Amino acid sequence: MKYLFFPGITGVRCQSKTRYAVSAVDSRGAKRLKTGKLKNKVVFWNIPIVRGITYFFCGVVATIKTGIDSIELSGTSIERGISDKVAEKLNVKKEVVAMTFLLLISLGISLFLFGFIPAKLSFMFIGMSMNFVLRNFIIALTKVAIFFIILLIFRFLPPMQDLYKFNGATNQVLLRDGEMKNVSKKDYYAPFNILNIVVFALVLAIFVITFIGISLAPYWKILINLAIFLLCCGLSFEFCMLFQKTYVLRMIALFTNFFVCAKPSITHDEVARVAYSEIKSIGQEDEMTNKSQIAKSTVLAEMQTELEKVGKYDKADVEWIIATILNCSREEAKLVKGFDQKTYKEIMRATTARASGKPLSAIFGFVEFYGLKFNINKKVLSPRMETEILVEEVLKEVGDKKNLQVLDLCTGSGAIAIVIAKKSKCLVSATDISKMALDVARENAKNNNVKINFLQSNMFENLKKRARFDIIVSNPPYIRTLDIEGLDEEVKNYDPKLALDGGVDGLKFYRVIAQNAPLHLKKSGKLFLEIGKGQYSAVEKILIENGFTNISYRKDYSKIIRVVIAEYDKRRRNT
């Protein structure tokens, strides 16, 4: 294996043959990172069975170190315990003391649970008259059952939940980024992980040692049982590595994996990927020593200089350019140390285009909106970051409700409609006057695997008279006609005028919506609108005149009122 993972309580450790990286998340949700060189290397990696024994013990040590390092990185305050005091007095590492304590406690518990209890149960229910092989087989099964009961209890203990979720996250990274075939939705149950191998080895060792039931002198018995245990460790490694290779075999290991893996959250997955990306980037940096590459700091300086010349420097744009060209997330892009000549030229070509006033969506032909990717061209308005607030408010309103009818007016690229359909259980319809815009929206819906009822219509014109919706949402054109020429070049030159022009006062479409939405809203239906700077009072007045009530608003990241929410009350409409 090129990369190995080890989970911790608050983070993950990823290591290559020579380096390691520990990533953790602190109480504020920020990612913390620690890297270093491995002092000891695995020298028997190509020898079957032996490599498994080495991995078992090195993996246990690495997991304990991961727990300690991740807790330190997360900033979790832990009171000094006995192990810290003993470590100081004996002048040894606290990991050694912790492992010794863990071994002694485990030994005591094991003797009681797997020695005393099964022996008593066998005398009570089986007796000594039963066939030796059958008796040992039943006792072995009893011990294995006790072991799984203990694992089941651990599985639902709150302190263990994050450990198992981080373990699941490492499995996802190994399978997905490791370019494995036939990856399932439950790829967090991958067989090859340290916790699963430990469980596999212990179950196998408990059963085999008990079933054989060697009766020799104590020292011979200990040596033979130890040899069996080591053999089980080696075999478990080989089995799990074999199970990892194909989907069918991976399903065999689902049972043991259930006890040591859990579905990771986005945060768990991100933490695992940060550690993985760091190790990959360190590997790239090591490879760069003998290759001609350009340092990232040099490239960033050149990008900043070129963009500042025309007053268009934005750190977020720089990060977006690099991440897009590298085809990775921004977090992963931050860990890259340098670029080859081809990548460097692509980055600077995109930077030059950005400096000329070309928006990023036009440079790359797509834009990210609410975590989804949308193809963009000059036929549709490029979705803006502030529009995510409009979508967020709609999603808050619908919650987990099923089959709510939602209409998106002036859909353009389909961004609003697609996100709502993707992130909720609503039935979404969308209209736009432009056939070319609808073609783009349909393509985006297909790429994001959602079903939406698209209809070419000038606002409400082509809707059926009986069509009723729980929610109508719209980001209509709201720029005053005379103000369009004064807009930034990247807006007026690359966004369609049809998607910008809101009439003489910028309020043309709000009047159309306020007058016609009541005919297509269900009882208690709501209207969600994005508005321009300084338009709230005028839009509020239009809504009140047309019978809307309970009008509220939301501000964007610049503290500008950007979203208006209203309910329709026909009793209050002016006549």
pLDDT for the residue numbered 280: 76
Distance of CA 365 to the CA centre of its chain: 25
pLDDT for the residue numbered 367: 80
Above 50 in pLDDT, residue 319? Answer: yes
Q: What is the pLDDT of residues 12-29, one digit of tens each?
A: 888 887 788 888 877 666
pLDDT for the residue numbered 78: 46
Nearest to 380 by CA among 512, 477, 266: 477
Q: Could you tell me the two tokens for 402?
A: 């099923």
* Integer CA distances (angstroms), 265 to 73, 87, 152, 192, 474, in order: 19, 36, 21, 20, 32
The span from the CA of 111 to the CA of 125, in Å, is 20
pLDDT band at 180 (very low <50, low <70, confident <90, very high): very low
Angle at CA 314, nearest 5°, toward 359 and 273? Answer: 95
pLDDT average, residue stretch 216-240: 83
Q: Could you tell me the two tokens for 96?
A: 């050694």
Are 49 and 232 a contacting pair, CB within 8 Å? no
Mean pLDDT, rounded, of the chain:
79
The span from the CA of 424 to the CA of 432, in Å, is 22
pLDDT average, residue stretch 297-317: 82
pLDDT for the residue numbered 571: 56
Entry field: residues in the chain:
575
pLDDT band at 477 (very low <50, low <70, confident <90, very high): confident
Above 50 in pLDDT, residue 351? Answer: yes
Model pTM above 0.75:
no
pLDDT band at 347 (very low <50, low <70, confident <90, very high): very high
pLDDT band at 398 (very low <50, low <70, confident <90, very high): very high
Which range of 224-238, 325-339, 438-452 scores highest in mean pLDDT? It is 438-452
Kindly state the helix (H) or strand (E) to which residue 473 belongs, with its residue range.
strand 469-474
Above 60 in pLDDT, residue 574? Answer: no
* More confident position, 524 or 94: 524
pLDDT band at 97 (very low <50, low <70, confident <90, very high): low
Above 50 in pLDDT, residue 546? Answer: yes
pLDDT for the residue numbered 241: 80
Domains and CATH numbers, the chain: 12-26+33-267 (no CATH), 292-356 (1.10.8), 373-572 (3.40.50.150)
Are 232 and 201 a contacting pair, CB within 8 Å? yes
Tokens 């170190």 label which residue?
A: 65
pLDDT for the residue numbered 252: 66
Q: What is the pLDDT of residues 427-454, one digit of tens each?
A: 999 999 889 889 999 999 999 999 999 9
pLDDT for the residue numbered 575: 43
* Phi, psi (deg, nearest 5) at residue 327: 60, 50
Above 70 in pLDDT, residue 369? Answer: yes
Q: What is the pLDDT of residues 99-108, one digit of tens each?
A: 555 555 555 5
Above 80 in pLDDT, residue 349? Answer: yes
Nearest to 259 by CA among 205, 214, 202: 202
Region label for 405, one of left (φ > 0), alpha (ψ between -120 and 50) or beta (otherwise): beta
pLDDT band at 179 (very low <50, low <70, confident <90, very high): very low
pLDDT average, residue stretch 543-566: 90
Q: How many CB atoms lie within 10 A of CB 170?
A: 32
Q: Which residues contact 172 (CB under 8 A, 6 or more apart)?
A: 187, 188, 190, 264, 269, 272
Above 90 in pLDDT, residue 226? Answer: no
* More confident position, 501 or 404: 404
Q: What is the pLDDT of residues 123-169, one digit of tens each?
A: 555 555 556 677 778 777 877 787 788 888 878 877 688 888 888 88
The span from the CA of 53 to the CA of 524, in Å, is 66
Q: What is the pLDDT of residues 374-385, one digit of tens each?
A: 888 766 777 787
pLDDT for the residue numbered 79: 46
pLDDT average, residue stretch 245-252: 67
Q: Could you tell me the two tokens for 481?
A: 């006609």
pLDDT band at 77 (very low <50, low <70, confident <90, very high): very low
Above 70 in pLDDT, residue 84? Answer: no
Q: How many CB atoms lie within 10 A of CB 107?
A: 10
pLDDT for the residue numbered 128: 54
332 forms beta bridges with none
pLDDT for the residue numbered 182: 44
